[in-house]
Amino acid sequence: MTTSTSTSPRGDLPTGPAPRRQSLLSRFGDPLFVIVTYGIIAIAIVLIVYPLYFIVIASISDPNLVQQGRVVLFPRGITFDGYLTIFGTSTIVRGFLNSVLYTVVGTAISVAMILSGAYALARKDMPGRNLFMILFVVTMFFDGGMIARYLVVKELGMLDTMWAVVLPGAVGVWNLIIARTFFEQNLSPELREASQLDGASDFRFFFGIALPLSKPLIVLMAMIHIVANWNAFFDAMIYLSDESKYPLQLILRNVLIQSQASASGMDMASMDSTAAAQKMGELLKYSMIVVSTVPLLIAFPFLQRYFIKGATLGALKS
């Protein structure tokens, strides 16, 4: 029995359907999508990066040229008087050191309290954990207000101390929920049972197993509170009266207010005497923004991998 195969009229190629011609949309759709996407990303990068770049070049440019709009892409009339004044003024240096102290202590307290509390709430064998969780969640919707918080801080004897800045907002309920979800999804009961069979106590399991497995979460919590504590000034403005304890952000706020007040209160008689002060105020304004922002910009790239991983872990059930 023989089989026959159909061949083309030329006798050497098999017959088949002719290839269809691509439409204009299919030929140029993908390249056009790529171009539009990269264009949108480039515009977003410019909108985000240029304000930071402008602050940097404005901090070393002549304030008169900055106010005239002549500083756009490159610094003009380069001067470092703003930075020299910052690092030569004891008030600003002390504010910088205060911010470092408040950030380190506040972050350490917040991360320790959130991790320990979230781990306890993630344990299904903890009595009354649902009741405690409800009490925490209620505080997200109902607040005693500024006066109540001030009275509590005053009665505890924390006014005009570092603890008035770092303790009232040490535990954020939303961060506590994120950490609890992370522990529930990444620390299985079987792992804890296995550690108990090996003789590990609850403390040893938490410090020896749970925390080493939670590095992305720890970095996430640390970065959130570092940024929050570094940029905080409102609590210091309310609870601190000693200027030697002011953080850098509060000093920057006062400099901005004084600069605007001097600019709006000038008259012809005092024009010459306040021109130099206003010029220095403008330099200090941009220079202090750079000084207060650079530490976070330096630290974030080194922690970005853990930060992104921690932000995504625990978000969805596996």
Judgement on whether residues 108 and 57 belong to the same structural domain of the protein: no
Judgement on whether residues 50 and 103 belong to the same structural domain of the protein: no
Helix or strand run (H / E) with residue 28 = helix 24-59
Q: What is the DSSP string of 117-184?
A: HHHHHH-TTSTTHHHHHHHHHHHHH----HHHHHHHHHHTT-TTSTHHHHSTTS--HHHHHHHHHHHH
Judgement on whether residues 166 and 43 belong to the same structural domain of the protein: no
Judgement on whether residues 202 and 285 belong to the same structural domain of the protein: yes
Judgement on whether residues 63 and 134 belong to the same structural domain of the protein: no
In this prediction, residue 91 carries a pLDDT of 80
Q: What is the pTM of this model?
A: 0.71
Give me the number of domains the chain comprises.
2
298 burial level (CB within 10 Å; 0-12, 13-18, 19+) = exposed
Find the CATH number of the domain harbouring 167.
1.10.3720.10
Share above pLDDT 70 across residues of the chain, in percent, rounded to a whole number:
77
Residue 12 located in a structural domain: no
The confidence band for 113, taking pLDDT boundaries of 50, 70 and 90, is: very high
Task: Read off φ and ψ for residue 5, nearest 5 degrees.
Answer: -115, 140
Residue 82 located in a structural domain: no
Q: Is the pLDDT of residue 15 over 70?
A: no
Judgement on whether residues 37 and 101 belong to the same structural domain of the protein: no
How is residue 7 annotated by DSSP?
Answer: B
Q: How far apart are CA 58 and CA 284, in angstroms?
A: 10
Tokens of 43: 């515009």
* Interior angle at CA 39, CA 36 and CA 43, nearest 5: 140
Residue 233 located in a structural domain: yes
Judgement on whether residues 143 and 286 belong to the same structural domain of the protein: yes
Judgement on whether residues 218 and 176 belong to the same structural domain of the protein: yes
Residue 141 located in a structural domain: yes
Residue 285 located in a structural domain: yes
Residue 48 lies in domain: 28-67
Judgement on whether residues 32 and 164 belong to the same structural domain of the protein: no
Q: What are the pLDDT digits (tens) for 205-257? A: 888 888 888 888 888 888 888 888 888 888 888 888 888 888 888 887 777 67
Task: Read off φ and ψ for residue 73, nearest 5 degrees.
Answer: -110, -30
Residue 4 located in a structural domain: no
Name 23's Cβ contacts closer than 8 Å, sequence gap at least 6. Answer: none
Which of 109, 235, 239, 115 lies closest to 180 in space, CA to CA?
Answer: 115
Residue 301 located in a structural domain: yes
Q: What are the pLDDT digits (tens) for 148-198? A: 888 888 888 888 888 988 888 888 888 888 888 888 888 777 787 788 787
Judgement on whether residues 46 and 121 belong to the same structural domain of the protein: no
Residue 6 located in a structural domain: no
Judgement on whether residues 106 and 251 belong to the same structural domain of the protein: yes
Judgement on whether residues 57 and 173 belong to the same structural domain of the protein: no
